[in-house]
Structure 1
Amino acid sequence: MIRDRVTPSRVIRTVLPAEAEHIVALHARARATYYPDGLPQDGTDWLAAWQSAIARPDGHVLCVVEQGRIVGLASFRTPESAAADTVRLFQFHVDPEHWGRGVGTALHAACVEEWKADGKLTAVLDVHADNRRAQAFYARLGWIPDPENPPADGDHHLFLRFCVTGE
C-alpha cells in the first residue's frame, strides 16, 4: 500500500471507496478535453467501473488532493494476461483546471515509486490518438511506443511502454 505523500499543499494517497463519485466526475472532465464532439455514450457505467477498480485487492487507485479536493487520479494493476513484472496504467487524469501545475508529474512519480516497490520492471498504457497533450506528457516522462503492440488499423489508441527502473 502506498504511503501518503504530503507537501504543504498536496497529498497523494489511495482513493477511498466513498470518493468514487468524485473520481467519476474528474474522469469525465478530463476525458471531455479530447473528444471534440462530446464524450461517447458507450453504455459504460463509470461509477460501477471506478467502484470496482477501487475495491480490487490487486489494483491501485491513487489520487492527488489539493485543498481538500481531488485533482488527479491514477489506476493501475497487473493484468491477468501480463507478466508478473508488468503493470498497466489503466487511467491517469488531472482535472483540466489544474493542468500545468505539476499535479501529473507528481502523480506519475508516485506511481513509479509504487511500481518499483512492487517489483515491476515495465509499465504499459494506451492513450487516445487524439489526446496530443497526454502523448506529449508521457513522452516527456520517458514513455515510448510499445514495439510489441503497434496500433491496429482503425484503432483510436496508441500503446506506450515505460521502463520502471529507468534503465
Structure 2
Amino acid sequence: MIRTVLSAEVEDIVALHARARVTYYPDGLPQDGTDWVAAWQSAVARPDGHVLCVVEEGRIIGLASFRTPEGAPADTVKLFQFHVDPDHWRSGVGSALHAACVEEWQADGRRTAVLDVHVDNRRAQAFYARQGWIPDSENPPAEDDHHLNLRFSVTGK
C-alpha cells in the first residue's frame, strides 16, 4: 500500500533513511550533525510538501519526499528524498513508489521534476535512468559538489 506518511512514523522513516543511505557511502554514513528526526518531522509537517510511503505487512519499506523548491517555477517539483529498504531492492517497490509520485505530480499540474543524487550512488542513478530521468543540462553541479542533478518530464514530453 502506498499512502501519506503519518507524523507518528518519523522514527521509522529515519531508520529506513539511514539503512538506505549507508549503502552508498564507502566509509559509512557521514556524521554531519544533521538532526534527521527534526528534518523528517519538518518534511512531514510542511503544508507545501508531501511524503509518501510504501507499507508492507505494517512496516514502511519505501519513502519519497517532494515539494516545489524555493525559487523554482510552480510547475516544477523536487524529489528531495527517495529510499527503499535495501531488503526490498529490485522487487518493484521503488518503481511503484515512483509511479505514485508521478501520478501525484501530474494531478498537481507539474511539468518537470528535478533531483540530485550522490555521485557514488550508482544503484540509484541506474534506477532513475530506468524511470526516464536524464542529466539536468540547465543545472550542472558545482565543481566541489558530490551530486548529479537529474531532470524528469512529468508530462512525458
Q: What TM bracket, shorter-length normalisation? A: over 0.9
- Choose which of 124, 132, 152 in structure 1 pairs with 2:114: 124
- Choose which of 128, 134, 138 in structure 1 pairs with 2:124: 134
Paired with 1:125 and 1:59, the residues of 2 have a C-alpha distance of 15
1:55 is displaced (CA, Å) by: 0.3
Q: Give the corresponding residue for 1:75.
A: 65
TM score, norm. by length of structure 2: 0.99
Q: Per-residue displacement from partner, 1:136-163 (whole Å, max 9, x unpaired)?
A: 0000110000011112212100000000
Length, aligned pairs only: 157
- The answer to whether the aligner puts 1:30 opposite 2:20 as a matched pair is yes
- The answer to whether the aligner puts 1:41 opposite 2:31 as a matched pair is yes
Q: Per-residue displacement from partner, 1:76-126 (whole Å, max 9, x unpaired)?
A: 000121000000000000000000100000000000000000000000000
- The answer to whether the aligner puts 1:66 opposite 2:56 as a matched pair is yes
Unaligned stretches of 5+ residues in structure 2: none
RMSD: 0.5
Paired with 1:68 and 1:50, the residues of 2 have a C-alpha distance of 20
- The answer to whether the aligner puts 1:89 opposite 2:73 as a matched pair is no
- The answer to whether the aligner puts 1:166 opposite 2:156 as a matched pair is yes
Structure 1's consecutive aligned runs of 4 or more residues displaced over 4 angstroms after TM superposition are none
Secondary structure of the residue that 2:24 maps to in structure 1?
A: coil
- The answer to whether the aligner puts 1:102 opposite 2:92 as a matched pair is yes
Secondary structure of the residue that 1:90 maps to in structure 2?
A: strand
Paired with 1:70 and 1:122, the residues of 2 have a C-alpha distance of 27
Q: Which amino acid is the alignment partner of residue 105 of structure 1?
A: S
Unaligned stretches of 5+ residues in structure 1: 1-10
What is the aligned-residue identity percentage? 83
- The answer to whether the aligner puts 1:148 opposite 2:138 as a matched pair is yes
